[in-house]
A and B are shown apart, each in its own frame.
Chain A
Amino acid sequence: MRLLKTIIFAAFLAFTFSSHSLAQCKAFAKKECLPELQKSGFTHDGNYHAAVLIEGEEAELYKTFYSDMEYRVAIVGEARLPAIEFRIIDTNKNVLYSNKDKDYAKTWDFKLEASQQLKLVIKVSSFNQPGDTPASGCVAIMFGFKMKK
């Protein structure tokens, strides 16, 4: 009976903790990532991509970008995380951009002569502290667009 109570309590706590964390991730995305798009007149496309990632973890995102648009990608991680690295890769596996070369910039603006499907590889770098519990936190990925001038 005591074990059953513990399991129910654990499930309740875990569900509450998890939902709270995901809700915080959404709030973080709105507060910290969205303004990175809006401050230069880009319209957020409305899609939501955010996840709790841990040190060293990698995520990939696939998206088609169109030739008549100007785009901004904004990738922002919570302050407790180390730097967030992102690379943009074409279908031939050529790296078109890496924010590592730009001091881990949070945004990248681009436009295309021809529509392309591109891959974004997002990696939470590491604090390189052996023995420490890996840091974890929310990483938000958002896209803004405007019509090409």
Chain B
Amino acid sequence: MNRKYRINSGILFVFILALGLLTSCKGGKKAPDVDKPVTFTQDNAAILQDIKQAERIFNALPSPLESAMLIKSAGAKFDESVLNPVSNMNRYVTSKAMALNLGVYTCDLSFASLYEQTQLLIDYMNAAKKMADGLGILDAIAQEDINNLEENINNTEVIMDIVSQTFMNSNSYLEDNNQPATAAMVLVGGWIEGLYISTQLVDMKDFNGNKLVSKIIDQKLSIDILLSLLERSKGNPAVDELMVEVGKLKAVFDKIKIDASPVRPEYDPATNTTILKSQVKTDMTPETFKELTAITAQIRNSFVK
């Protein structure tokens, strides 16, 4: 009887521990929502507490693929000289450098693929693979993916699907293996590279009314998301360093004005699409743009050095 009791206690302990780990998950914890008064019976109070503690927040930065797509949609021309050369890849030996440059190379890879730079995109896929392998991300980019890329080298849609899939393999591996700091650094690397490429491709003679400039202004909307993403891993020395750098960038973005009218959704039954109608007025002086370009280059160059 005594023995049975001990075994049952062990099983109960295993169950509680497993349940605890199972219900834990990625994402930041949300502060209790005091705005929503909800009445629960006393029996449900503990469950409610669990639910509140388990509530979570995701901060979604534009992926490297989306950043590259934004540059292309703004009509920018391809320029290989603004990318991080693949010859730099052997320099990156720390986890931080590899994580940041996995993001950087994935953005460069996306940029090259959208502009049908066939040889370059294979080179960048290999560089991204080296970073992912270095971080111990199993099978993020398999040799099969590179072969698949080579076989479909002229099919942009297939290439974008491969790039998207390999990026998802990396960030899901890091999230599932409880490495949110590394996952955040990969995203930061990709986002900064997208911003760097955009700022480098702006011709100051064509500043006013430049579509690429308006896409750069739009990145102000993501700077707080970026800081919240890093905040989740505050205390990690590499993340703390990045937060200081991103704080400098935010200070410049804060000088840009964005005034938006209220959003009005309008459903189009013909396309089954909702159009979010709103007007926006933005104001960024050439001086602020130059400042933004300089601080972005400083941060990005510290990633790729």
Contacts and interface: CB of A to CB of B under 8 A. Distances in A.
Q: Do A and B bind each other?
A: yes
Interface of A: 2, 6-7, 9-11, 13-15, 17-19, 21-23, 25-26, 29-30, 38, 43-54, 56-64, 66-70, 90, 92, 94, 96-97, 108-117, 134, 136, 141, 143, 145, 147-148
Nearest to B58: A61
Given A26-B172, A54-B54, A61 B60 contact: yes
A109 B57 contact: no
Given A97-B265, A109-B274, A59 B27 contact: yes
B291 interface: no
- Majority SS at the chain B contact face: helix
Contact of A11 (B17, B74, B177): B17
Contact of B262 (A21, A46, A51, A92): A92
B275 A110 contact: yes
How many B residues are at the interface, by size bracket? 35 or more
Nearest to A46: B167
Contacts of B60: 47, 49, 61-63, 143
Contact of B54 (A44, A57, A111): A57
Given A47-B171, A145-B69, A115 B218 contact: yes
B109 to A, nearest CB: 11
Contacts of A115: 218, 221, 280
A110 B168 contact: no
Given A14-B22, A90-B263, 11 more contacts: A10-B10, A18-B24, A19-B177, A25-B176, A43-B65, A43-B160, A47-B167, A115-B218, A116-B276, A117-B221, A147-B73
A115 B211 CA distance: 13
Nearest to B156: A43
Interface string B258-272: 001011010000011
Given A46-B163, A46-B168, A48-B168, A17 B22 contact: yes
Please provide the 10 A-B residue pairs with the shortest distance between their CB atoms, ordered closest to farther.
Answer: A46-B167, A114-B280, A63-B60, A48-B172, A61-B58, A46-B164, A18-B21, A22-B176, A6-B10, A68-B73
A121 B225 CA distance: 16
B273 A113 contact: no
A116 to B, nearest CB: 6
Interface of B: 6, 10, 13-14, 17-18, 20-27, 30, 47, 51, 54-66, 69-70, 72-74, 106, 157, 160-161, 163-168, 171-172, 175-177, 187, 215, 218-219, 221-222, 225, 228, 260, 262-263, 265, 271-280
B47 A111 contact: no
B273 A109 contact: yes
B276 A112 contact: yes
A113 B271 CA distance: 16
A121 B26 CA distance: 16
B176 to A, nearest CB: 4
Contacts of A69: 66, 69-70, 73
A110 B47 contact: no
